[in-house]
Amino acid sequence: MIGPGTLGFRLIGFALAWIAGALIAGGLLLNSLFENHVKRGFDGRLDVLLETLVTVTDADPLTGVRLLGAQGEPRFERPFSGWYWQIMDASGVKLASRSLWDQTLPLPAAQPPAGTEGAAHYEATGPRGQRLRVAERPIRFEQDGHAFRYAVAGDLAEVEAELRPFRVTLAWALGLMGLGLIAAVVIQVHFGLVPLRRLREALARVRDGRTDKLEGEFPGEIRPLVSEANQLIAHVGEVIERARTHVGNLAHALKTPLSVLAVEAERAERRPDADKALAQVVTRETAQMRERIDHHLARARVAASAAALGQRTEVLPVVEGLARALSRMHAGKQIALATEVPAGLVFRGDGQDLEELLGNLMDNAFKWGRRAVRVGGETQTGGRLLLWVEDDGPGLKPEDRARAIARGQRLDETVPGSGLGLNIVAEIAALYGGKLTLGDAATGGLRAEIDLPAATNDQSRIS
């Protein structure tokens, strides 16, 4: 997907900016070159008409200048056609084309400097407001005689008419070229980023536990990254395994002396000369210490499992195994267990943690349920899954639910237990980024829901 913030979006955005800038600059340059070419051609036509005007005129002793023949341009005869000629000197206009009718060309007071072709070219405004291009040059009939200003003007609308189809064609051509270049860039970026998409899929397979390292063919630019990532994955696994080993060794080292103290306290209680109160205190405290060690050891194991890559557990087999075990443990209650977990539902985590989560919730449901217990699960959006356990027991009041999750809280001392079950479930779920929620079941009892990360069960994508 190419969206804001992605590498593909940046590449395409930069390419689009460059293409747009290049096409605009190229279009302006081509338009300028063609416009200059058309104007040079137009000036050439004016120069030819100016030379023709010079050849068909001669000096006249009375008026100073006279017209010997026709100009050869019909538009000079049509009034206000946009094409005009005019001959003047310091005293005023001597001769003019019929197209000017009773008007004159507004020539500048001082004659402009001549160009390389001998004539000056400039723009002026015509009798009807037309934009005119004027070609002017001075002519002397005698060496010492005064100069006449010969001027021929043409309507620049013809230049614009010639430029307009070129500009339309140029715009269409550059537009189509731009679309083609954009399509080429999008295709290039799409296929160029395919190795990154394969890398992402390989990481997803590692995360979901379908493989223990990044696998696949990657281009040379990405292979070093893949190698470093595989080394990092292996290193993290080794660190987690060493941490588990150290925690287990520490727990074993603490449990052994605690067991010795507990045995000695029991023996002391049986001796008539022993301080029985002290022995009872030692027995109670060592039991609490052992319980706390077990609790924190379990938390350390769960934390390591939650941080490890590649953990995945199918939910249905775990639920079925717990159902068989709990049905035997609570056989005297004759509780009907209904399982509504779809096949293919996969938890992204350790199997023992899932057993701990569901085991505590299902055990509570068997303890408090009267006739029925339901266990279900479903996938959620955002790569999550929802597991829930319901019973038809007395349930919990809303004000008691937070206390029930608190560590060591027991709301009914007549039912056996340590008061740690729901607290352990909440802590394990939190370590996986989830949450335990208690609510009302449809059957009137308690409904416990846990939100957990889900893993894909698509084995066909393993390569």
* Residue 462, C-beta contacts closer than 8 angstroms, at least 6 positions apart: 205, 210, 211
pLDDT at position 48: 92
Q: Name the band, by pLDDT with cuts 50, 70 and 90, for residue 407.
A: low
| Mean pLDDT computed over 431-456 | 86
Question: Smallest Cα–Cα separation from 429: which of 446, 408, 450, 409?
Answer: 450
What dotted CATH number matches 313-461?
3.30.565.10
CA distances (Å), origin 368, targets 49, 51, 153, 249, 396? 113, 117, 108, 38, 11
pLDDT in tens, 147-181: 889 999 999 999 999 999 999 999 999 999 999 99
pLDDT at position 251: 67
Domains 20-162 and 313-461 alike in fold: no
- Mean pLDDT (the chain) is 82
Percent of the chain with pLDDT over 70: 86
CA distances (Å), origin 325, targets 13, 328, 356, 387, 388? 60, 5, 13, 19, 18
- Cα distance between residue 442 and residue 422, in whole Å: 20
Out of 219-223, 357-361, 415-419, 455-459, pick the least confident: 415-419
Q: Residue 340 pLDDT more than 70?
A: yes
Q: Which of 92-96, 207-211, 282-286 has the highest mean pLDDT?
A: 92-96
H or E element that contains 124: strand 120-125
- Cα distance between residue 350 and residue 32, in whole Å: 72
Strand partners, 460: none
pLDDT at position 417: 43
Higher pLDDT: 257 or 167? It is: 167
The domain 20-162 is placed in CATH, from the list 3.40.50.2300, 3.30.450.20, 3.40.50.300, 3.30.1310.10, at: 3.30.450.20
Q: How many other CB atoms sit within 10 Å of the CB of residue 287?
A: 13
Q: How many other CB atoms sit within 10 Å of the CB of residue 106?
A: 11
pLDDT in tens, 217-250: 888 888 888 888 888 888 877 777 777 677 767 7
Question: Smallest Cα–Cα separation from 296: which of 242, 361, 251, 351?
Answer: 251
* Residue 19, C-beta contacts closer than 8 angstroms, at least 6 positions apart: 178, 181, 182, 185
pLDDT in tens, 264-275: 777 777 777 666
Domain chopping of the chain, boundaries:
20-162, 223-307, 313-461
pLDDT in tens, 277-299: 777 777 777 777 776 676 666 66
Is the whole model's pTM more than 0.85, yes or no?
Answer: no
Using an 8 Å Cβ cutoff, are 167 and 31 in contact? Answer: yes
